Amino acid sequence: LKSRFCRGYYEERRFVDSVAGYRDIVDLHRGERDLELLLLDIRSKLQIFYQHSPQVWIGITHGAFMGLTPKKNTLDTHIWVQLQEVAFGHYWFSIKSIRFRRNEVILKLNVVRNVEADSLIERTQISTSTLMYAKDASKLALTTDNSINALNNAPKLSDDMVSGPTVIQPEVQQIGYEDFINIVRNWGTSIKHTVYDFMSNDINKDNIKDFLQFLGLVVISLLTGSAVAIKYLGTFALRFMYEFTRFTHVMTPIILKVIETINKIVGGFYILLAMIWKDAFMKKRMTATQQLQDFNAQPPRELKAIEYNRQQYKSNFEYNIRQPPVMRSSMGPFTEFERKFQ
């Protein structure tokens, strides 16, 4: 099919819902019957292959599809392709390849040249086709006569054969190891053909060139974007550090004063609680006897001495009497008056 030449009429363009786009319709010339049979065979195989994917569009149709009707000097087979800036007319086409897309199978056609109207060629083709049709009709009539004669000369069936037909039971085939091996081989062959078609149709010079161009653009875009992003991040980091330094310089005294105020409030509150606890609970537990015992347990202190220095008497004696400390050991604790003079 690849690199094959054919004649066709490009006279229409329609929108295809399955691919969401327009496709150019090429009607095969009536002299391309061999190509029509080949295309229909390929179409049937593709339909079997994509029977579980009904959304895949196959760009080969036959018959009255979407209102298409065969025109003069054309066949009933239509090819849906994508042509680049081609006017309507009669052309020689070259089949370049078959493209398998995500939701479409399409033929890629190249326009070779325009076909000029040549009445002599048309007459020759018409006479040739008429002669072929006449030969086919004579052959068909001869075959029909032979069939009728053979039917008349055939032996008649007996009554036993008519009344008692024999039943032939079909043989049940057993699936063995060889059948499994054949299935695996068929799978391998189909995978091999699929990979070969992919490598031969999709991986070509144009696709590789486009891929390299796209990859180069992506790399350049990433490098440029990275440089701009680094520059922006550097500027942002410097400005952020400068503003954060100013903020820290201004807010540090305020934060320290706030922390000091909170410490004073919390500390004063705890001191107040401690004093209330001491006054309310600790003094109630101490009795008067314990207070006196604690006081008597202290070491004794001396009372202040009374000195008498009277110089007006002019005597040789000097009164400097120092009284010893008063000890109250057996008479009980000191009174409040005595404590004041100690």
Domains of the chain, residue spans: 4-119, 286-342
Distance separating alpha carbons of residues 154 and 133, to the nearest angstrom:
32
Q: What is the pLDDT of residue 146?
A: 55
Percent of the chain whose pLDDT exceeds 70: 64
Q: What is the pLDDT of residue 132?
A: 54
Centre a 10 Å sphere on the Cβ of residue 127 and count the other Cβ atoms it contains: 10
Q: What is the pLDDT of residue 169?
A: 47
- pLDDT bracket for residue 235 (50, 70, 90): very high
Tell me: pLDDT of 120 over 50.
no
Task: Tell me the average pLDDT of the chain.
Answer: 74
Q: What does the DSSP assignment read for 214-282?
A: HHHHHHHHHHHHHHHHHHHHHHHHHHHHHHHHHHHHHHHHHHHHHHHHHHHHHHHHHHHHHHHHIIIII
Higher pLDDT, 92 or 142: 92
Tell me: pLDDT of 285 over 90.
no
Centre a 10 Å sphere on the Cβ of residue 24 and count the other Cβ atoms it contains: 19
Distances (CA, A) of 244 to 226, 227, 231, 235, 258: 26, 26, 20, 14, 20
- pLDDT bracket for residue 43 (50, 70, 90): confident
- pLDDT bracket for residue 20 (50, 70, 90): confident
Q: Give the tens place of pLDDT for each residue, 173-232.
A: 556 677 778 778 878 888 887 887 777 667 778 888 888 999 999 999 999 999 999 999
Tell me: pLDDT of 161 over 60.
no
Q: What is the pLDDT of residue 176?
A: 67
- pLDDT bracket for residue 336 (50, 70, 90): low
Region 242-251 average pLDDT: 92
- Residue that is written with structure tokens 């295809």 in the block: 16
- pLDDT bracket for residue 84 (50, 70, 90): confident
Q: What is the pLDDT of residue 167?
A: 43
Q: What is the pLDDT of residue 137?
A: 52
Q: What is the pLDDT of residue 134?
A: 46
- pLDDT bracket for residue 293 (50, 70, 90): low
How many C-alpha atoms does 78 have within 13 Å on its Cβ side?
20
Model confidence, pTM: 0.36
